[in-house]
Amino acid sequence: MLDKSPLCQPFAADADVDKLVDTYHNMQHDIADRLAPLHTLQHPANRRAPWFVADCHDARCNCSCYERHYRRTYSIADQRQWVDAACQRFQLYRSKEEVYCTSRLEQDGRVSPLLWRSLSSVLGRDRDIAGATGHTADGFADFFALRVDKIRPG
């Protein structure tokens, strides 16, 4: 697209610089709009962990309230309250996650495909990491073998 555009065509030596800059700007925008048209992205609302329920949300809001109060006063007592609330919040998160995972194991533990599907989603392994990053196990093995050959020639 760029080769066929006016940007890659010869121009007169006495051409107006402002016109050239406008042409450059307009052609870049035109090409970008054709290659990557504007579209709206749909983000799923509040994609939180399945164990993140109302009391987890309340604990997070409570902790944020203590943090805001500390950020206004900078007193040691307010900082202590905030830190204690944060510790309690993370303990609640850990216990909720543990209860959720245990219940999923009990529910799907006897059926291997269901168990694997549950564990994969909990562990975040349901994403195609090799497709997203371009990294594969074979690529890593080739890279590692090449490094070893460079260190130990022969």
Domain check: are 117 and 62 in the same one?
Answer: yes
Residue 116 lies in a domain: yes
Alpha-helix runs per DSSP H in the chain: 17-35, 54-73, 76-108, 112-123, 129-133, 137-151
Domain check: are 31 and 58 in the same one?
Answer: no
State the pLDDT confidence band at 49, using cuts at 50, 70 and 90: confident
Is residue 122's pLDDT more than 70? no
Domain check: are 24 and 88 in the same one?
Answer: no
Domain check: are 29 and 80 in the same one?
Answer: no
Residue 49 lies in a domain: no
Domain check: are 109 and 58 in the same one?
Answer: yes
Counting Cα atoms < 13 Å in the Cβ hemisphere of 21 gives 3
Is residue 126's pLDDT more than 60? no
Taking the C-alpha atoms of residue 30 and residue 4, their distance in angstroms, rounded to an integer, is: 13
State the pLDDT confidence band at 68, using cuts at 50, 70 and 90: very high
Of 116 and 128, more confident: 116
Residue 73 lies in a domain: yes
State the pLDDT confidence band at 134, using cuts at 50, 70 and 90: low
pLDDT of 154: 57
140 close to 134: Cβ distance less than 8 angstroms: no
Residue 69 lies in a domain: yes
Domain check: are 31 and 61 in the same one?
Answer: no
Residue 121 lies in a domain: yes
49 close to 33: Cβ distance less than 8 angstroms: no
Domain that includes residue 17, residue range: 6-35
pLDDT of 132: 54
pLDDT of 59: 95
pLDDT of 124: 59
